[in-house]
Amino acid sequence: MQGTNWADRKCHFCESEKLEIMQVFNNSFVQCNHCGARGPIAENMELAVECWNVRGNYGELLSTRINEKAI
């Protein structure tokens, strides 16, 4: 989260503050390292954060995955 302005620093699902911007090749997304919730894939880190923050208006943008370690 360093160097990026986070308006919403908690996970929308579990309220954890363990958020991280993940980068895969030229794409980025925000992921909660507690529950596994992920934001949409974006072209850069700033857009990934913006998409994460507008999740309240566009609920379909976020997807969740089962955290297999918790099972």
pTM for the full predicted model: 0.68
Residue 66 lies in a domain: no
SS3 state at 69: helix
Two tokens at 64? 């969740």
- Residue 70 belongs to some domain of the structure: no
Helix or strand (DSSP H, E) at 50: helix 45-53
CA dihedral 10, 70, 40, 62 (to 10 degrees): -70
Q: What is the number of structural domains in the chain?
A: 1
Q: Check residue 6 and give its pLDDT.
A: 61
Residues 12-69: tens digit of each pLDDT:
889 999 999 999 999 999 999 999 999 889 999 999 998 888 865 444 444 444 444 4
In a domain, 43, yes or no: yes
Report yes or no on 67 lying in a domain: no
Start-to-end CA span in the chain (Å): 28
Which residues form the domain of 54? 1-61
Give the model's pLDDT for residue 51: 87
Question: Do 4 and 44 contact (CB within 8 A), yes or no?
Answer: no
